[in-house]
């Protein structure tokens, strides 16, 4: 069955086009007709600016339970991590499903149509596998289906606490023991229409060097995305130097982890040689600016990485906020503060990072553009809200990226199915209540 949408304004990758009719059949865009001033009879009318669906390339769904709580007091990434571990200790497959369903529904309300879930809470506390060893990963895949968005489950190898250190008591439930055991468990996971399976290396701290190639080989064999937290903290760089005499990036390069299907998350504290290795190998960079500023990580060299050939994507990571428009502008605004010059990325480039390049980093190559053949994933931003009213519609992309927030999302459509209509989630009736209940259940 073909459904026609009429877009009052559409972002076509280079410019805002007024009056666009778009046909969708079996979850894909089959025709895009410009110059359509009035809606065709029977068309679904989307007022505002329709963008390709946003891709949240880096998420830890359970961190959403920390919102607010971790803003009391001072500290560093490492003190924040203790609070985060206390929450991880309490997760069960049921409570994680309830929380992730609500968090993914919040994402849909923010125009996000695909999430990359960097998932490492695999086993019961203490490290005992569940009856289904993938019960936690399956809970996340089901949660995404229930919330109506796509997921790439980046199943994460997390085997050690530090270089040569066994997992600590919190980390026992993250560990499969060896990369081979990790691979065996992951190989059972099945892809579905809304779900892809990818791999992740938690960090060079968490996977011993001699086992990195096992994870990289697993991803290579399946042509699956491979993500890795990389140089988020200077302490990781120092420890890596001490043990291996090189940077984390050099270590990954040495063990065959870098390449076009690999994405380094954060890529914050890099040397010039690291930047060349990442860019030259086509390895992607996922920036998570709202988390990086929240955790006082620092500002990564995104401009230099992109110039060297690293495609950029964006993620809300710890979910201090869930707003990809904020992530996009924060990348540019951080660079302005550092360089005291403006215009490092255009709104078009920021939207590409927030959509097409983010989808590609998650293995959804045919998603993130409004053109025939692409998956019918899109979101509509109001241009008549208190934040967005005023600018000319042809500046809709600049307005959306630099002034709109997640609160301006009116519609979210995934695979041709309306998930958010007029700001209301169609599958999860009361998202704030679902969030409160799920977070309350995890409170100590």
Q: Which residues are catalytic?
A: 266, 317
Q: Toward Zn ion, which CB reaches closer, 176 or 317? A: 317
Alpha-carbon 259 to chain mean position? 19
For residue 382, the minimal CB distance to Zn ion (Å) is: 31
Size of the site for Zn ion (CB under 5 A): 1
Nearer to Zn ion, 292 or 317 (CB): 317
200/298 Cα distance (integer angstroms): 23
Task: For residue 432, count CB atoms less than 10 angstroms from its CB and return exposed for 0-12, middle for 13-18, buried for 19 or more.
Answer: exposed
Is the distance from CB of 47 to CB of 410 less than 8 angstroms?
A: yes
Q: Cβ distance 157 to 255 under 8 Å? A: no
3-state secondary structure (DSSP) of residue 370: coil
Q: Closer to Zn ion by CB, 4 or 56: give it.
A: 56
Measured distance CA(381)–CA(388) in Å, rounded: 9
Closest approach of Cβ 266 to Zn ion, in Å? 7
CB 60, min distance to Zn ion, A:
6
Least gap, CB of 12 to Zn ion (angstroms): 33
Run of H or E residues at 228: strand 226-230
Q: Which of residues 270-329 bind Zn ion (CB under 5 A)?
A: 317
232 binds Zn ion (CB under 5 A): no
Q: How far is the CB of 122 from Zn ion (least distance, A)?
A: 16
> Nearest to residue 119, comparing CAs of 138, 98, 105?
138
Shortest distance (Å) from residue 231 CB to Zn ion: 13
Enumerate residues 6+ apart whose C-beta is below 8 A from 73.
none
Q: How far apart are CA 165 and CA 171, in angstroms?
A: 11
Which residue lies nearer to Zn ion by CB, 261 or 266?
266
According to DSSP, residue 375 is labeled B
Which positions from 123 through 142 interact with Zn ion, judged by CB under 5 A?
none
Residue with tokens 């540019």: 332
The residue among 51 and 207 lying less far from Zn ion, judged by its C-beta, is: 207
CB nearer to Zn ion: pick between 297 and 317:
317
For residue 220, how many other CB atoms are within 10 A of its CB?
Answer: 17
Provide the 3-class DSSP secondary structure of residue 73.
coil
Task: Count the neighbouring beta carbons within 10 Å of the beta carbon of residue 126.
Answer: 9
Note the residues at the interface with Zn ion (CB under 5 A).
317
């Amino acid at each position: 069955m073909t459904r026609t949408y009429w877009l009052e304004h559409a972002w076509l990758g280079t410019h805002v086009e007024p009056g666009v009719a778009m046909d969708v059949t079996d979850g894909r865009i089959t025709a895009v007709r410009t110059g359509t001033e009035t809606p065709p009879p029977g068309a679904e009318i989307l007022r505002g600016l329709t963008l390709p669906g946003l891709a949240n390339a880096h998420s830890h769904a359970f961190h959403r339970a920390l919102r607010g709580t971790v803003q009391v007091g001072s500290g560093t990434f490492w003190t924040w991590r203790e609070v985060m571990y206390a929450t991880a200790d309490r997760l069960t497959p049921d409570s994680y499903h309830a929380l992730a369903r609500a968090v993914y529904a919040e994402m849909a309300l923010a125009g996000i149509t695909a999430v990359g879930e960097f998932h490492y809470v695999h086993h019961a506390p203490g490290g005992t596998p569940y009856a289904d060893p993938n019960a936690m990963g399956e809970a996340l895949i089901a949660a995404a289906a229930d919330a109506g968005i796509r997921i790439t489950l980046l199943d994460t190898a997390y085997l050690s606490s530090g270089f040569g250190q066994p997992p600590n008591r919190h980390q026992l439930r993250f560990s499969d023991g060896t990369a081979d055991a990790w691979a065996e468990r992951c190989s059972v996971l099945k892809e579905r229409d809304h779900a892809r399976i990818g791999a992740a290396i938690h960090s060079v701290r968490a996977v011993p060097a001699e086992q990195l190639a096992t994870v990289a080989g697993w991803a290579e064999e399946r042509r699956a995305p491979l993500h890795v937290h990389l140089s988020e903290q200077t302490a990781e760089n120092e420890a890596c130097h001490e043990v291996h005499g090189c940077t984390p990036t050099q270590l990954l390069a040495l063990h065959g982890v870098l390449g076009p299907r690999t994405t380094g998350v954060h890529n914050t504290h890099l040397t010039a040689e690291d930047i060349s290795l990442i860019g030259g190998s086509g390895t992607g960079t996922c920036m998570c600016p709202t988390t990086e500023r929240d955790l006082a990580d620092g500002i990564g060299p995104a401009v230099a990485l992109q110039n060297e050939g690293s495609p950029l994507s964006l993620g809300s990571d710890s979910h201090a906020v869930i707003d990809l428009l904020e992530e996009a502008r924060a990348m540019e605004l951080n660079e302005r503060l550092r360089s005291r010059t403006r215009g490092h990325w255009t709104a078009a480039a920021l939207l590409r990072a927030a959509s097409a390049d983010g989808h590609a980093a998650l293995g959804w190559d045919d998603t993130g553009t409004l053109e025939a053949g692409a998956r019918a994933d899109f979101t509509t931003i109001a241009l008549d809200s208190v934040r967005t009213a005023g600018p000319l519609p042809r500046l809709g992309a600049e307005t959306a990226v630099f002034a709109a927030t997640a609160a301006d999302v009116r519609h979210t459509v995934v695979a041709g199915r309306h998930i958010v209509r007029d700001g209301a989630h169609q599958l999860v009736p009361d998202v704030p209540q679902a969030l409160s209940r799920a977070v309350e259940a995890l409170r100590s």
